[in-house]
Structure 1
Amino acid sequence: MDFRLVRRMGHFLAVAEEGHFGRAAARLGISQPPLTAQIQALERELGVQLLDRTGKGVRPTRAGEALLPLARRLAEGAGQIESLARDLREGRNAPVALACVTSALFDYLPPLVRGLQAARPASAVAVREMDTADAVEALRRGEVDLALLRLERDRHPVRLRSLGRDVLAAALPVAHPLAGGSGPLDLAALADEPMLVLPRGISPAYSDAMVAACRAAGFAPRAEREVGSAMAQLGFVAAGLGVALVSAGMARLRPPGVAFRDLAGPIHAVGVALAWHAERESEAVRLALSLADALFPVPADEQQGGSPADKGRQMR
């Protein structure tokens, strides 16, 4: 787009509407000689005379009258571009990129996205499913604005606001002898079972919580194979290839071929946190944190004791 042409068309529009160079110059906040020069340059560029000079002022020629509707549309479009650019510079209505771990897709993601869309209807929200390690790197590189992930503590420059606690549950093939039991399952009952696990690099917090729980139950987990996601864990369980310890929220998916058992204890896992880059706290990030306060209140004991994630939130 030739912005000089757009600017000159705006000058022409002002003169045509005011019917006077002096009044148009005052409206545009410039002096009259440069305005006259701009109109002359526009007429030379287009090869037509746009204004008739009269003793009382100016009026559009027939060619000028024909161009007036287009000049108005150009002026409106230019104004919209300037307004959008200003909003983007100041962080208003900018698109929001959000990373989300698989296990947060159903309990935490939907209300947060709905809240963002309701508060910022002119802004798009793009969601990318990724594991915790990738989400942290995406935040550091500025590829996403926010992330729903599993971390216990800030990892500079990534800050956290805890959204909720989580517990582990056993995912078993439906034909497994322990699948149909009633009441909480003693984790020690899985000591000899082949486990389907996530690589520690994908989600260190989950991996450490799972290993710690097994050791507390008196055994080291027998990792049958590593899989790339929580959904893959459930798929492999359904195929009868092993058992898995997963977020209890995954039971809401009700995947065919998989039975879920609560674990005695219960056994707490690392919960989901809302994460953002400390040096990129945009208007969208501040809105998401306000939504988190309304949607996922911090439990009273965490408010008093102050979990590491929520201490990071309070330092804002």
Structure 2
Amino acid sequence: MDARLLRRLGHFLAVAEEGHFGRAATRLGMSQPPLTAQIQALEAELGVLLLERTRRGTRPTREGEALIPLARRLVEDAGKLQSLARELRSGRHAPVAIACVTSALFDHLPPLVRALRDARPEAAVTVREMDTADAMEALRRGEVDLALLRLDGDRPPLRVLALGEDELVAAFPQGHPLLDLPEPLPISALADTPLLTLPRAISPAYFDALVAACREAGFEPRGLSEVGSSMAQLSFVASGLGVALVSSGMARIHPPGLAFRRLRGPIRAVAVALAWNEDRETESARSALLLAREAFRLS
């Protein structure tokens, strides 16, 4: 709706409620002649007489009375729209979109979502499970505001804050012979075991950590088979198709049919990190980032 029409409707309502042009002008912070001109312009635009003068002041005509309820709703809704727009600009009500790798779904996502919802109960929070590579692209395109992923440092314009330490553990199908060895297992025990891994394109930090750990133990990973997701990796292990080195966060999910063993070292994995795109920092993203820092006690 035209802003001038809304403004004139507000002027009309003020006169109708005050019953006097002079009092309405004072309430609106304007002089009476411009107010009279605004009412006349509104009547000309609508094609009906809205107000009539009496000995006691001014009152709405029958047509004016009929228009008052709708005019009031329009003006109130316009005020609510402007108020919501201000809230959205401040980030208080703006929706927040989060990308999250599977291994962060249980340890890191819940406290982040709780912090956002407690601070901004009116704002919608959406979560998209995706691998690190897709999460990075979603951040670059502005499709999400924050991401929980595995990244070992900034990738401008992406900024990251590591959320503590993490390590790789070995996932075995139940009944695997290596489960009889005492913990922690030397990673060299896996030298002749087919390993299931995520492609480097999906999670380069994880893939590089796995290969580096094997080489440091004196062997090249044998029979590497790539799977499309962390959950598929665990499913394939449970099916007896191989063994996998997974983050300790994935081990805490502990699906049936699997057994996990700590590795000697321990072997560090790239920790889950909080990431954002500094080139796409909207008020909503900045507000969410501040709450995330508080939730994870980050400086």
Q: Which residue of 2 aligns with 1:214?
A: 214
Deviation of 1:100 after TM superposition, in Å, equals: 0.9
SS of residue paired to 1:75: helix
Q: How far is the alpha carbon of 1:243 from its aligned partner? A: 1.0
- Measured after TM superposition, the shift of residue 37 of structure 1 is 4.0
1:96-107 map, 5 Å:
96-107=96-107
Task: Give matches, 1:264-275, under 5 Å.
Answer: 264-275=264-275
Aligned residues: 299
Q: 1:190/1:42 Cα in 2 relative to 1: closer, same or farther (>3 Å)? A: same
Query: Which digits, 9 at most, give the CA deviation of each residue in 1:62-105, with x for residues without a partner?
Result: 33233323322222211110111122234332111111111111
Q: Give the drift of 1:4.
A: 4.8
Question: Offset at 1:287?
Answer: 4.2
| 2:108 matched residue in structure 1 | 108
Residue type of the partner of 2:222? R
Change (3 A) 1:292 1:42: closer
The residue aligned with 2:232 is 232
Aligned AA (1:274) = L
- TM-superposition CA deviations, 1:108-144 (whole Å, max 9, x none): 0111011001101111111111111221222122111
Which residue number corresponds to residue 59 of structure 2? 59
Distance of 2:289 and 2:89 partners within structure 1: 21
In the aligned structure 2, how far is the partner of 1:24 from the partner of 1:174? 81
2:255 maps to a residue whose letter is P
Shift of 1:57: 3.0
Amino acid across the alignment from 1:199 = P
- What does residue 71 of structure 1 align with? 71
Under a length normalisation based on structure 2, what TM-score does the superposition of the two structures give?
0.90
1:183-217 deviation line (CA, Å, top 9, x unaligned): 21111111111111111111111111111111111
Residue type at the aligned position of 1:252: R
**In the superposition, relative to structure 1, how do residues 289 and 47 fare at CA in structure 2: closer, same or farther (>3 Å)?**
closer
Give CA deviations for 1:14-38 in whole Å, capped at 9, x if unaligned.
2212223344344445554554344
> TM-score normalised to the size of structure 1?
0.86
Q: How many angstroms does 1:47 deviate by?
A: 4.6
Match of 2:199 in 1: 199
Q: In 1, are the aligned partners of 2:89 and 2:284 still within 8 Å (CA)?
A: no
Q: Do the aligned residues in 2 keep the contact of 1:197 with 1:223 (CA within 8 Å)?
A: no
- Deviation of the 1:172 alpha carbon: 1.0
Q: Secondary structure at the match of 2:117?
A: helix
Structure 1 segment 1-316 matched on structure 2, within 5 A: 1=1, 3-30=3-30, 32-179=32-179, 181-297=181-297
SS of equivalent residue, structure 1 residue 83:
helix
Which range is displaced more, 77-86 or 56-65?
56-65
Cα distance in 1 between the residues matched to 2:241 and 2:43:
78
Q: Distance in 2 between matches of 1:43 and 1:181?
A: 91
CA distance in structure 2 between the aligned counterparts of 1:181 and 1:43, rounded to whole angstroms: 91
